[in-house]
Amino acid sequence: MRIRPTLNWEPSDDLPAATNDPTAVAEAVRAGGVVVLSGAGLSTESGIPDYRGEHGSLRRHTPMTFQEFVGSEAARRRYWARSQLGWRAMTRAQPNAGHRAVTALSRAGLVTGVITQNVDGLQQAAGAHDVIELHGSLGRVVCLDCGHEDSRAALDRRLRAANPEFERVAEQHRAARVNPDGDVELPQAAVREFRLVPCAVCGTGVLKPDVVFFGENVPPGRVARCRDLVDTADTLLVLGSSLTVMSGLRFVRRAADAGTPVLIVNQGPTRGDRWATARIELPLGETLSWVVRQVTRP
């Protein structure tokens, strides 16, 4: 039986009101020492939907859980068939103005660290370095048996060779909407004949995208790196995350408990609003570009 993970959070009536004035963000960034925590909302302007926004993928799509993936070969076949098409769409996505603004602020020394919940690699593609990928990356694949890591591009070549007829399926569904976790909806008939490939090193291992699935824990070492980064921040700036899942919310709570200001720029309320100094409800690309101009002009 497929169990739907806990994905949604319902805001209460006592949350503080949002503002549409980004001045507080500019002032915090100008002072420096800002650590960014970004979510799916930062990538929506690149054509990748978020999970929970007005047009979020959860309205039509239930992400696969870790337990489902490891427990069923049929589930893995469904995931990799859908991902084989979704991966191609993800590789066509380009960084947007929000990604470029975060990179500009990092290069100016005002943003001292970036933690991203996104698995699309767009922040790095925009030129940012030392980004902590809290939930991993779709660009990597790991063998669950021997631990070997490989690139998603290498797996793409192997899956193409194993499924030559899938190119016809891909052509028929190339306009399908990609989900934040890198797959698309495909009819069962298109999935049924898809052939999986084993690990290229051990020859038998189960391959998994190097991302944290729902129901899976973030590696403790990665959590510790994020915690250390948050502890050094003068301000924690949350960009485009509803903070529904604890993996990101815990850093907001940690910062607030330490007396570190928390600023949230997001379209819609978040689970972290009660710990925030302010929430600004504005489009990210436009807002962050404005912040860059404010803090870097002579």
Residue 67 annotated in ligand binding = no
pLDDT at 283: 96
- CATH homologous superfamily for the domain 20-48+96-135+217-298: TPP-binding domain (3.40.50.1220)
Biggest alpha carbon distance in the chain?
61
DSSP assignment of 15-44: SPPPBS-THHHHHHHHH--EEEEE-GGGTG
Q: Classify residue 158 as exposed, middle or buried by CB count within 10 Å of its CB (0-12, 13-18, 19+).
A: middle
Work out the angle at residue 250's Cα, subtended by the Cα atoms of residues 130 and 28, and round it to the nearest 5 degrees: 60
How far is residue 70's CA from residue 246's CA, in Å, rounded to a whole number? 22
Looking at residue 250, what is its pLDDT? 97
Under 8 Å CB-to-CB from 164, ≥6 apart: which residues? none
176 labeled part of a ligand binding site: no
| pLDDT for the residue 76 | 95
Amino acid 183: pLDDT? 66
DSSP bridge partners of 278:
263
**pLDDT tens digits for range 97-114:** 999 999 999 999 999 999
Q: What is the pLDDT of residue 56?
A: 43
The set of residues, in sequence order, having a beta carbon less than 8 Å from that of 103 and lying 6+ positions away, is 123, 126, 127, 128
From the candidates 61, 129, 135, 173, give the one annotated as an active-site residue.
135
- Please tell me whether 273 is known to bind a ligand: no
Instruction: Output b/e per residue, 106-126; b: 16+ Cβ within 10 A.
Output: beeebbbbbbbbbbbbbbbeb
SS3 at position 4: coil
pLDDT by residue for the chain (298 residues), tens only, comes to 333 444 565 666 677 789 999 999 999 999 999 999 999 999 999 988 765 445 444 444 567 889 999 999 999 999 998 888 888 778 889 999 999 999 999 999 999 999 999 999 999 999 999 999 999 999 999 999 999 999 999 999 999 999 988 877 766 765 556 666 666 677 777 788 899 999 999 999 999 999 999 889 999 999 999 999 999 999 999 999 999 989 999 999 999 999 999 999 999 999 999 999 999 999 999 999 999 999 998 7
122 known member of a binding site: no
Stated pTM of the model: 0.89
135 counts as catalytic: yes
Q: Is 63 annotated as a binding residue?
A: no
The pLDDT, as a whole number, for residue 60 is: 45
Report H helices in the chain: 23-31, 66-71, 73-92, 97-107, 122-125, 152-162, 166-172, 188-192, 220-231, 246-257, 284-296
Locate the domains of the chain by residue range.
20-48+96-135+217-298, 55-92+139-211
75, 65 Cβ separation under 8 angstroms: no
